[in-house]
Structure 1
Amino acid sequence: MGDVLRHLAHEGQRLSEADMLTPLPGDFVLTWESVDAILSAAWKTDREELKWTLFVQIARQVRRDGAYVFHQRYGSPDRYKRYVRLESFFTAESDSTWGSLVEEVIEFLDDPKQEYGWNLEPAQQHEYANSVITYRRDVATAERRIRRALLSRWLRLVTLMVTPLVLAVVGWGNLWPEDVPDLRTFNIVTIAVMLVLVVVFLVGFILRVKDEKHGVQSLFLLRRDLEIIHDRWILNASKARPTREHRDGYRERIPRVIERLRRDTKFYRRIHNWFQWGVFFASVGTTATTAFWDTPQPGKTILIVLGSFLAFATAVTGYFKFRERAYNLQQTADQVEQHAMAFDLGIAPYSDADAAVNLERFAENVEMLRMEQRKREQQLEQPHQGQTDVI
């Protein structure tokens, strides 16, 4: 501390090593300018034990009692960083000495674990960017392998389920040929169907996901690998970036959230519209069939098919509530987009002078909207009585 004091000036006078035990003047007020002067004096000493503090600087005074504190190796503070209040770190008591003041300032700013507002250094930023790219590539590869495994399983499963039925029809047609109008055409069609089933089964067999070390991978193992990728990323990200860095990137992820909400909205709305059009045509078809066919057949068969479809479509739309799901998702997407636009334009409720306050308020509002969306989804999953109780 003596080396620092020899480079520290107070009221135009150079301090000495003996001033370590000298009490501070009665009218002394610790300001950010004083802190900056102590750091400049530490920089002039070029001592190895002050290596970290040598790179700490006070960026600029903010308002009346705050300033940006940043580290030269870790970049300048951006518009999302909070300003640091002086009383949050330093306490200059009445009986403090010059030595205790300098020691306290350097001690608090010499802790690399403190989050004063600095970003990751360029090398760490580059490393983190590469880790993000690798993570997204691994996730995309794992999801593609899962989709391929699902397709392979369904192709083989459908083939194994349909083949016994086709064989049963073939046996019935050949054991009772008198019930078949044209046995030769019947056999040609059944042989063609069997060939198609064999091709589908072979395609599903070829599409199986294989690994050089473990051979064929089951769907369970593939999903487990995807979960491991996510868990590994969470662990690495928590170590690589401080909390503020995660919060700063929150706004950049919002467009993807809105896009996913709108994509789900289109999906549910499309299903609802298809079922509704089916109900319309089935209703018209039922009326037309009743009017045109007086004989039992084929009018009776058509009425049975149309009536069954109407009952099925009504039950499915009533149970899964596709229209309500699409409406809730669309409402949430519009509200999140409205908050994002207000945040970018700096209008209410994000018109505060401190950008960090606006970002924190924005994150709280968006997460509240997403939580309300999840609650509405849970209400749709419950029976009618359960929804009434929840409301």
Structure 2
Amino acid sequence: MNLRKHIAVALLYFLLVALMGLLLRFFFVTPIPLNYKFILHAHSHTALLGWIYLGLTTLIYKIFLSEAQKPKLYKHIFVFTNICILGMLVTFPIQGYALYSIIFSTLFLFASYWFMWFAVKYAPEHFKNRFSWKLIKAALWYLVISSIGPWAIGGVMATLGPESIWYKSSIYFYLHFQYNGWFIMALLGILFYVLEEKGIHFKPEKLKSFFLLLNFGVLFTVFLSFLWFVPPIAIYILGLIGAVAQLLAFYEFYLLLKNHFSAIKKSFSPNSFLLLKIAGSLLAVKLSMQLFSAFPYFANLTFQLKDFVIGYLHLVFLGIVITAMLAFLEYFKLIKLQKSFIWIFIFAFISTELLIFYKATALWLGFPFFQDYYILLTILSCFFPIAVGILFFKNLKNLYLSA
């Protein structure tokens, strides 16, 4: 089974996500006869469940499950998952959250449960004592826990309605366990697998401390997702405890790795290592922002100025999750990264993030807001599909030539 074909499918979703993101920018500069919210739903679902989900599950299969000799079963899971993704990709732009998009979204949850069962059942025994597998297994559990959010939305819609505080809270609960739990934990598992294969070992008590703090942080920072409706002060305290725990966890992570940076650098290509450095640097920014958001003033500010939330989510997904995942995809020879893609992507990311955070800061502090902001943001956003197009078509060409 050629897993590079599976990643080519994921890259196609990545390209469609970039194009939909650009379309969303155009809504603010010219009339478009489409529903903005419907496109936004399609954009976010395809990004998380099409591109990132397929990238991570393909990596997990290649590393931990290819020895299981169950290619047909995995192929069935992959095909069913893509039917669900394509269903969402078609139905969300047409109807938003409605009957058919909900059906495909629900089926996707079952596809993710199927993959989780497959991974836990068929992972070879010799992996099960590894720290990397411990992280992957935790990540898969967070994938399942995150699905409580979508299940809750149905009940909330039927009983309390979309105006209820529990509607948004269910969405934020889902997003939290997706990126703080499933995505980041899976990426850490893949990194520790690489270190294990390079013969780099750590003291068990240090790994245990890191793992406990990491999970404690993931579980308690979920309370930060509920600060937007100004809950009791106890919720702020629990969220702050989670933010501090996560900060301490990644400080321990830094201490674990600090003597091995040269070995890690040698293991990755210059392009991949650059992406990992960017992901690591932005992870520090993310942890700092998360810590500040636990305080009432900043929590209220964040949810009053949506650009802070948009900038934060783009920082996490584009700057941390996707950059690290691309580095691992190249490491395991599932894609080839081009310098042109990397520099155009970095330019698009930095320039658009600066503008998004500039707008939020200008509204917060009363700075001047220039007239052509949305036009400039749209122009700069054009570089995302250009970069991803280069990545997709170059890898498609390489796949065709190697066939």
Largest Rg, 1 or 2: 1
TM-score relative to the length of structure 1: 0.27
Between Structure 1 and Structure 2, which shows a larger proportion of helix residues?
2
**Higher RCO (CA-CA < 8 Å; seq separation 6+):** 2
